[in-house]
């Protein structure tokens, strides 16, 4: 069985500052890990996915995430926030044949 915890339902950062959104997971099998983004009034869109090929995963729009097995974490980062990054971000985990479990989401606010 899998579960995922996102720390912080709301995160605010200044434009140009580092973005760090935290995600911790638990899984009884080697996990697949995902970050999805949801812009206002839109469906979710895949940002990046970890499938065991490399621990540092680069995604769209300058985001990346690092898989740390020892910490059971998959935090999402971006070096410099842009106003267009304001959205809700969901971390998710699944096993190959197990349903995907989504976190409760973190809403990212960008301050001018």
Partner 1 sequence: GAGVSQSPSNKVTEKGKDVELRCDPISGHTALYWYRQSLGQGLEFLIYFQGNSAPDKSGLPSDRFSAERTGGSVSTLTIQRTQQEDSAVYLCASSLDRGFHNEQFFGPGTRLTVL
By CB under 8 A, tell whether 7 contacts partner 1: no
State in angstroms the smallest separation of the CB of 18 from partner 1.
25
Asked if 51 interacts with partner 1 (CB under 8 A), we say yes
CA distances from 47 to 36, 38, 72, 88, 112 (A): 5, 10, 19, 12, 24
Full DSSP string of 58-84: E-GGG-EEEEETTTTEEEEEESS--GG
**Which residue from 21, 27, 73, 105 is in contact with partner 1, where contact means CB under 8 A?**
105
**Nearer to partner 1 by C-beta: 41 or 70?**
41
| Binding flag, residue 67, partner 1 (CB under 8 A) | no
Contact status: 42 vs partner 1 (CB under 8 A): yes
Burial 11-25 (b: 16+ CB within 10 A, else e): bebeeeeebebbbbb
Residue ranges binding partner 1 (CB under 8 A): 9, 32, 36, 41-46, 49, 51, 90, 94-105
């Amino acid at each position: 069985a899998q579960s995922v915890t996102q720390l912080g339902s709301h995160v605010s950062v200044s434009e140009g500052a580092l973005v760090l959104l935290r995600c911790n997971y638990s899984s009884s099998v080697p996990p697949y890990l995902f970050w999805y983004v949801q812009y206002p009034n839109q469906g979710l869109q895949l940002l990046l996915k970890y499938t065991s090929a490399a621990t540092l995963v680069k995604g769209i729009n300058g985001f990346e995430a690092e898989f740390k097995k020892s910490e059971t974490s998959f935090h999402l980062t971006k070096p410099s926030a842009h106003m267009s990054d304001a959205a809700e971000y969901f971390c998710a985990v699944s096993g190959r044949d197990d349903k995907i479990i989504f976190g409760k989401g973190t809403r990212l606010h960008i301050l001018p």
